[in-house]
Structure 1
């Protein structure tokens, strides 16, 4: 996913998806990273950025409905760079 602040490119975020462990979550995040999808992250606002830890994104303007991703308790945040979707 390419990141930008306005028109200024900030870089690319590369995320490994574990489709074998969380197929719904992996597919959902992949689809949100594609431009043109109904729930694309394109145009989302980052509300908070904590360097080396996390970024909090708002709901994209294109996403009209909430989507519930099933919890996958087999995946843990124990590695640097872990990415997750909020269940809220």
Structure 2
């Protein structure tokens, strides 16, 4: 079953060598590489959508997502961010 057939909208975004694509927080996505290639992927945290990042983290906890697929040290980073925000607002 193709997930794209189960939703109202699904987008295809072909990339060429040297291009970068940033996918918004919480977007379900898949990657197809029809030919051999070297691709770099990863996740990063930012302050533009903290609510969605926390929701994604809660879903990962409920589903017992393997550590390999989760953002490393997410809880520790949240404590640092919390302290930074507290210092900023003081």
TM-score normalised by the shorter chain: which range applies?
under 0.3
Q: Which has the higher contact order (CA 8 A, sep 6+)?
A: 2
TM-score using structure 1 length: 0.23
TM-score using structure 2 length: 0.22
Q: Which structure has the bigger radius of gyration? A: 2
Q: Which has the larger helix fraction? A: 2
Q: Which has the larger strand fraction? A: 1
